[in-house]
Structure 1
Amino acid sequence: MKAFLILEDGTVLEGIHIGADKETVSEIVFNTSMTGYLEVLTDPSYAGQAVVMTYPLIGNYGITPDMESNKPWVKGYIVRELSRMPSNFRCEGTIQDFLVRHEIPGIAGIDTRALTKILREKGTMNGMITTDENYRLENILPRLKEYTTGPAVEQVTCEASYALKGKGKKVALLDLGAKQNIAKSLQSRGCRVTVYPAHTPAEEILAEKPDGIMLSNGPGDPKECGKVIQEIKKLYHSDTPIFAICLGHQLMALANGADTYKMKYGHRGGNHPVKDLETGRVYISSQNHGYVVDTDKLDPSVAVPAFVNVNDGTNEGLRYTGKNIFTVQFHPEACPGPQDSGYLFDRFINMMGGSQ
């Protein structure tokens, strides 16, 4: 069956329909990872978005247990070629069946690298995936321009708090759309992790006297998380050590008077170099974000840059002055290096007084 990808600038790309038989409107973003497509599909940070995979063959090792949440969050999937016959000893099914089961439409057979060049040159755009050969641009384009991802954090956070096994330091993990590997990275270091919904009052978290607080990744525009920002401001004023990743990093900055802005096309992939400004060392990082902290509006008496993106100079982390708080824009729980930046979790453990 034919399928069409229609962008809000009027660009139309024709390909082959994959996944669920439905139409979808979403923000179109691209990911440059060569592997890890299942982690991408199940990362809550992609809520409200359709993902273009620049690597030409996707699905060659099928569906494996490497999921970042219990379901996929993307609204659409765009690939050059979808493998129909995966081969891997851990394989539990095909991407096609996975997309159908979770009602996610997609399109294959288009030049995803040419599409990526369009998004790089013109910036991230909204788009529609449809199988309607009688589509009318004059009806579709207004819909695309009006689309927003909305309050995405509310869609992906857990409904109630829950505890995970562990015997070491007590860590409160605020779930803004947390990838499972964040909790696993803490548990592997002996932490007792309690996961809290994004809207949890700061007083409730602090009442449990955690040894440390983790602010997770998540989707959407950080400025739409007004109520969460107010609670994070209260957490900042406690003496509890805090480590924040991605959206959590942005929200902590906003809670302390800094600003964020939307990037032209964002950073999404497993090959982004970041430099530790304290040591001068460069790490290969996994990233997934479309917004960034504006360091020009950062008060150095509150926080100073700790990491910078080697490619474009944007901020990749902050160290808070006089506080046991540090935050990063990239994902140290992911494995592109493969373990390049995992030491940041060790730093967090040390901030809490060690592993015991």
Structure 2
Amino acid sequence: MSYLNKKDAVILLADGTIFHGKAIGDGGTATGEICFNTGMSGYQEVFTDPSYTGQIMVTTNAHIGNYGITDDDAESNSVKIAGLICKNFSEEFSRPAAQSDLFAYLKKKNLVILSDVDTRALVRYIRDHGAQNAIISTDVEDMQSLKRKLEDVPSMKGLELASKVSCKEPYFYGDENAKYRIAALDLGIKSNILRNLASRNTYIKVFPYNSSFEEMASFNPDGYFISNGPGDPEPLEAAIKTASEIIESNSPLFGICLGHQVIALAMGVSTYKMHNGHRGINHPIKNLITGKGEITSQNHGFAINKSQAIANDNIEITHLHLNDDTVAGIRLKDKPCFSVQYHPEAGPGPNDATYLFDQFIDLIKNSKKHTA
């Protein structure tokens, strides 16, 4: 017998479209921008990724929860999605390494979970009509009240969210006796990014999202890193200023996802909100430097302006997304700085992009040679 109580629930999109499902557990109401992830695995990493803050997640895989939860798979200290919509929610799990079931894990956040939804129809609708705000609720008898609540939800365009997920005080990660020191700007950094950096003989000091270049430079780092994170990059004026000053200092700099967008903005290249964004673990990228293809993990709803990047004499586009020709990577011609729009730390099977961390370390090594 199922221990998951199910109640009638509704999904109301900003354009008035309605989908139906069943809420698991206590139910409730949640709002956010609705989006979908095409990954067949990695649900815990997705749900705990700070970049998904403010978003209601629709999973395209038919079964969610079937391999349970383990602490090693968490990308932050808590669940970050605003709500979950799936087809089949598994009560039981079969993974020997799992420490608990997914429902108990999500219940700690009081997350609104909807199952028994026609996710294929919902994803097709979002794909055709674009990501938009939505409300999910068990309050199915008062649609007018739900519509009013939905109208008050701010658009993701122009929304600053990094401050909600960034650390409040600086902290250290890795071995303090490591060969290289890295100052990281936390816009919503994932745990596996820190693990990848630390495994390459680095000691990292992580700084809050609005830290100044002077504050970060006081650590006397060999290189700088700007992390992934949620929301629109354009309101991050402090981070853009810091990135500009790091670049001007001629220090090695690497940016991922939101960090990539912040670096572009620091170089005078604008960003824009995409129709749907890229969210999944099998996105094809072409490395224009090597000519090789890469299968990558991605999670972003904004991108940088390609025509402006091409027109900028100091920028070289290094990677392109093969599905829609959007910019997936850049480097500066006259500075030791590069960035990518995807997640090289995510290893859903392919590890095609982990070389970027080695590329960052090589940049630091070369910089130290020139300053020696």
TM-score band by shorter chain is: over 0.9
Structure 1: how far apart are the matches of 2:365 and 2:172? 21
What is the aligned counterpart of 2:350 among 326, 338, 347? 338
CA contact 2:205–2:219 (8 Å) conserved in 1: no
Q: How many residues align?
A: 355
- Residue 279 of structure 1 corresponds to 290
Q: How does 1:198-347 map to 2 (within 5 A)?
A: 198-298=209-309, 299-347=311-359
User: What 5-or-longer segments of structure 1 have no aligned partner?
Assistant: none
- Residue 105 of structure 1 corresponds to 112
- SS of the residue 1:143 aligns to: helix
Cα shift at 1:142: 4.4
- Residue 149 of structure 2 corresponds to 143
Structure 2: how far apart are the matches of 1:351 and 1:9? 48
- Residue 47 of structure 1 corresponds to 53
Which runs of at least 4 in structure 1 moved beyond 4 Å after TM superposition? Answer: none
Identity of matched residues, %:
40
Q: Do residues 64 (structure 1) and 70 (structure 2) align?
A: yes
Q: Comparing 278-287 with 220-229, which one deviates more in the overlay?
A: 220-229
Cα shift at 1:336: 2.9
What is the aligned counterpart of 1:30 among 27, 36, 60? 36
Structure 2: how far apart are the matches of 1:42 and 1:19? 20
| Cα offsets for 1:115-143 (capped at 9, x unmatched) | 0110011000111111012122x443343
- Residue 15 of structure 2 corresponds to 9
Cα shift at 1:337: 4.3
- SS of the residue 1:345 aligns to: helix
Structure 1: how far apart are the matches of 2:25 and 2:232? 28
- Residue 4 of structure 2 corresponds to none
Structure 1: how far apart are the matches of 2:186 and 2:25? 29
Q: Do residues 75 (structure 1) and 87 (structure 2) align?
A: no
| Cα offsets for 1:211-265 (capped at 9, x unmatched) | 1111100000111212221121111111210010000000010111101101001
CA contact 2:277–2:302 (8 Å) conserved in 1: yes
Counterpart of 1:285 in structure 2: which amino acid? T
Structure 2: how far apart are the matches of 1:164 and 1:94? 29
CA contact 1:246–1:289 (8 Å) conserved in 2: yes
Cα shift at 1:300: 3.0
Q: CA RMSD in A?
A: 1.5
Cα shift at 1:20: 4.9
What is the aligned counterpart of 1:348 among 357, 360, 369? 360
- SS of the residue 2:291 aligns to: coil
Counterpart of 1:81 in structure 2: which amino acid? N
User: What 5-or-longer segments of structure 2 have no aligned partner?
Assistant: 1-6
